[in-house]
Amino acid sequence: MIRIDNVSRLFHSRDGGIVHALAEVDLEIRDHEFVSIVGPSGCGKSTLLRLVSGLLPPSSGSIAIDGRTVDGPREETGFVFQSPTLLPWATIEENLLFPLRMLRRPVTPAAQRTARELLALVGLTGFERRMPSELSGGMQQRAAICRALMHDPGILLMDEPFGALDALTREEMSLELLRLCAERPKTILFVTHSIAEAVLLSDRVVVMSPRPGRIQEIIDVPLERPRSFAMEGHHEFQDCAQRIRALIFGSRDRDELARAG
Amino acid sequence: MPAERRGSGVLAQSVGLPLAVLLGLLVLWEICVHLFSIPVYLLPAPSLILMDSIGNLGTLGLHTLATLKTVLLGFFFSVAVSLPLAVVLTSSQSAANAIYPILVLTQSIPKIALAPILVILLGTNELPRIVVTFLVAFFPLVIAIATGLMAVPGDLLELGRSYRGSWLQMMWRIRLPYAVPMIFSGLKVAVTLAVVGAVVAEFVNADAGLGYFIITSTAFFETPLAFSALILLSLMGILLFQLVVLIERLLFPWSAANADKTFG
């Protein structure tokens, strides 16, 4: 379980000012829950993810995973970045083994088998010896997701993982992620710009508002699993998407009214 | 890659054409020398340079080896110093602040002016020549390596940190491999400069080497031999450069492939 307790994060901007990226965020994420974070740019989504990953320390408040405070990157979490961030000099297989080497775990035949199984799961069988530059953007991001799963973390933190992909590949990847979650249950914290993606994938959607970034509302998605794109027509899906959209754009309208007034 | 795409016709174009032009220029040179009866000490004909070279093969060989030794030793030390220096330079801001001005200072000293002073300091032996060669070659190398180490994208570093990478792991598994293409472009510049450095040092103080040989040959108006030395120096520069290219291709094919994309 991830427990985010009254967390704030400040940044010092270059001109000496202080930016409140996050203010007093409280959130609990249960094991094997899929939680998406949506909100306009600058609402601190990525910052929240980096705080949970331990890449950034909070300015105040605390984050705990299974009762242990996060004070640096932990082996229980795997991170997927917006760009694939594969090592351009290493084969796909070597890229998948990279986490094990960094964590000083032995690279056994079993580990290599795991790598091949993960690649097979995302349809990349036969690409083990290829270089990242030989793969398309979608394939690279698939490999990056496999890499994050290599050391078998319980928690997957995904920072707009499909943000740099075209719309079709994006839908395909969403389905693959659903399949992956069904086969290897993980706790997933997923940052996205896409409301439809958030509703389709998540158990709960956290809607955030900017300046300072805070949680506006948390919306339960009552759709049963397994999910599919056919559900986009369901009224539960439409309701959720509508409410999220209203929260995001409603607040933006209010902001603009306030600024105008 | 280019080699696969090129058919034999294209190969003939890319190799044969410049070769034919070069040959044509040599013939033109030969004709002009005879036509205008230019004295040998001013401009010897290519055929004479060739014949004199063959006649003095042993001497030229010895001088070539002497220069090659200086070049290789100076180049070796420049690599041995630049790599750790660049790593230190990029490891912290205070290290950069401490080292960088000194680095620029050593670079702003004209190496030719420094050579005679080094002879007084280090004696009339091989050492001042190696030091000058080293000084000429190492600066662009340090800058190339440091630039490469600093060019690593932020998310790649964040990836390493997310797996709790130590400083050494980050250096060994991310920064250095990322810098390899830039390190090699630095090595290519440095190895050519090392030849220049060695010759400059030999002008000032030497009893052997092609630089020394050019000075003595021209002093006795043996201009054809000076030209032979000049050609040998260019050949040495080209061969050493190609050697670095070959090492890159063999050890880091992905880096060489990148270089092909940019320059090929």
Residue whose entry in the numeric block shows the structure tokens 């991830």: A2
Q: How far A102 CA sits from the closest chain B CA (Å)?
A: 6
Check whether residue B28 and residue B52 sit in a common domain.
Answer: no
pLDDT of residue A17: 86
pLDDT at B262 over 50: no
The b/e string for A244-257 (b: 16+ C-beta within 10 A; e otherwise) is beebbeebeeeeee
Helix (H) or strand (E) holding A153: none
Q: Is A22 left (phi over 0), alpha (psi -120 to 50) or beta?
A: beta
A92 Cβ contact partners less than 8 Å away, ≥ 6 residues apart: A86, A119, A124, A127, A128, A129, A130, A131, A132, A135, A143
Integer Cα distance of B126 and A192 in angstroms: 65
For B163, which of A87, A89, A102 is closest by C-beta distance?
A: A102
A203-256 per-position pLDDT tens digit = 999 999 988 899 999 999 998 888 888 898 899 999 999 999 999 888 666 666
Backbone angles phi, psi at A12, to 5 degrees: -90, 120
| Side chain identity, residue B138 | F
Claim to verify: residue B207 and residue B107 sit in the same structural domain = yes
Same domain, residue pair B13 and B64: no
Asked if residue B254 and residue B160 are part of one domain, the reply reads yes
* CB environment B58-72: b (16+ within 10 A), e (fewer): eebeebbebbbbbbb
In the A/B pair of chains, how many CB contacts fall below 8 A? 52
- Rounded to a whole number of angstroms, the distance from the CA of A232 to the nearest CA of chain B is 34
Residue written as token pair 């001042």: B128
Strand partners, B161: none
Residues 6+ apart with CB under 8 A from B41: B221, B223
Domains and CATH numbers, chain A: 2-76+154-253 (3.40.50.300), 86-152 (no CATH)
Gap between the terminal Cα atoms of chain B: 9
| Identity of the residue in A73, A87, A131 whose CB atom sits nearest the CB atom of B164 | A73
Please state the rounded mean pLDDT for residues A186-214: 93
Q: With contact defined as beta carbons under 8 Å apart, do B89 and B213 qualify?
A: no
Q: Is B5 in the same domain as B62?
A: no
pLDDT, one tens digit per residue, over A51-69 is 999 999 999 999 999 999 9
The predicted pLDDT at position B2 comes to: 47
Label residues B185-216 b or e (16+ Cβ within 10 Å = b): bbbbbbbbbbbbbbbbbbbbbbebbbbbbbbe
Do the bridges between strand A187-191 and strand A34-38 make them parallel or antiparallel, or are there none, so unpaired?
parallel
Cα gap B252→B257, rounded to integer Å: 9
Taking CA atoms, B143 is separated from A187, B60, B75, B85, B86, in Å, by 45, 35, 15, 10, 7
- The residue in chain B having the minimum alpha-carbon distance to the alpha carbon of residue A80 is B159
* Predicted confidence (pLDDT) per residue in A75-111, tens digit: 999 999 999 999 999 999 999 999 999 999 999 999 9
Q: What is the pLDDT of residue B256?
A: 75
pLDDT digits 0-9 by tens, A111-158: 999 999 999 888 899 999 999 999 999 999 999 999 999 999 999 999
Q: Is the pLDDT of residue B85 over 50?
A: yes
Position B8 confidence tier, pLDDT thresholds 50, 70, 90: low
B167 touches A: beta carbon within 8 Å: no
Shared domain check, B214 and B177: yes
pLDDT of res. B260: 54
B254 contact residues in A (CB cutoff 8 A): 88-89, 131
Closest Cα in chain B to A51: B162
pLDDT, residue B199, reads 94
Distance from CA of A183 to the nearest CA of B (A): 24
CA of B181 vs chain A CAs: smallest distance (Å): 10
The predicted pLDDT at position A260 comes to 58
Check residue B1 and give its pLDDT. Answer: 42
Q: Which of B153, B163, B177 sits opposite A103 (nearest CB)?
A: B163
**Statement to judge: residues B3 and B98 lie in one domain:** no
Q: How confident is the model at residue A186 (pLDDT cuts 50, 70, 90)?
A: very high
CATH code for position B84: 1.10.3720.10
Specify whether B94 is located in the same domain as B21. no
Q: Specify the pLDDT at position A55.
A: 93
| Mean pLDDT (chain A, rounded) | 90
What's residue B3's pLDDT?
A: 46
Which of B142, B121, B143, B145 is CA-nearest to residue B132?
B121
Per residue in B227-249, pLDDT tens?
999 999 999 999 999 999 999 99
The partner residues of A7 in beta bridges, in order of sequence, read A25
**How many Cβ atoms from other residues are within 10 Å of residue B246's Cβ?**
11
Higher pLDDT, residue A78 or A257: A78
| Average pLDDT value for residue range A163-176 | 87
Q: Who's near A56: CB < 8 A, 6+ residues apart? A: A9, A47, A50
Q: Does residue B79 sit in the same domain as residue B128?
A: yes
Q: Using one digit for the tens of pLDDT, what is the confidence trace for B183-193?
A: 999 999 999 99
Could you give the percent of chain A with pLDDT greater than 90?
69
Residue B156 has pLDDT above 90, yes or no: yes
Whether residue A163 has pLDDT greater than 90: no
Query: Based on the number of CB atoms within 10 Å of its own CB, is B262 exposed (0-12), middle (13-18) or buried (19 or more)?
Result: exposed
CB contact under 8 A, B174 and A87: yes
| DSSP H or E stretch at residue A17 | none
Predicted confidence (pLDDT) at residue B39 exceeds the cutoff of 80:
yes
- The per-residue pLDDT of chain B, averaged, comes to 89
Q: Is the pLDDT of residue B264 over 90?
A: no
Distant-in-sequence, close-in-space partners of A146: CB < 8 Å, separation ≥ 6: A96, A115, A118, A119, A121, A122, A124
Virtual torsion, Cα A61, A65, A67, A72, nearest 10 deg: -60
- pLDDT at residue A30, as a whole number: 95
The distance of A64 to chain B (nearest Cα, Å) reads 17
Residue B89's domain spans which residues?
Answer: 44-263
Report the complex ipTM. Answer: 0.87
Per cent of chain B over pLDDT 70 is 94
B68 and B139 inside one domain: yes
B148 and B252 in a single domain? The answer is yes
B91 & B202 share domain: yes
Which of B162, B172, B182, B248 would you mutate first to test chain A, the one with the most A CBs within 10 A? B162
pTM over 0.90: no
DSSP string, chain B: -HHHH--HHHHIIIIIHHHHHHHHHHHHHHHHHHHTT--TTT---HHHHHHHHHHTHHHHHHHHHHHHHHHHHHHHHHHHHHHHHHHHHHH-HHHHHHHHHHHHHHHHS-HHHHHHHHHHHH-SSHHHHHHHHHHHHHHHHHHHHHHHHHTS-HHHHHHHHHTT--HHHIIIIIIHHHHHHHHHHHHHHHHHHHHHHHHHHHHHS-SSSHHHHHHHHHHTT-HHHHHHHHHHHHHHHHHHHHHHHHHHHHH-HHHHHHHHHHH-
pLDDT of A254: 61
Among the partner-chain residues B155, B163, B255, the one whose CB lies closest to the CB of A73 is: B163
Which site among B152, B156, B163 would you substitute to test the A interface, given the most A Cβ atoms closer than 10 Å to its Cβ? B163
Instruction: Give percent of chain B above pLDDT 90.
Output: 67
What does the angle CA A255 – CA A256 – CA A260 come to, to the nearest 5 degrees?
120
Give the total number of structural domains in chain B: 2
Cα–Cα distance for residue pair A99/A80, rounded to 1 Å:
12
Q: Is the pLDDT of residue A257 over 70?
A: no
- Tokens 């307790």 — which residue? A5
Identity of the residue in A55, A88, A131 whose CB atom sits nearest the CB atom of B162: A55
Residue range B90-102: mean pLDDT, rounded = 88
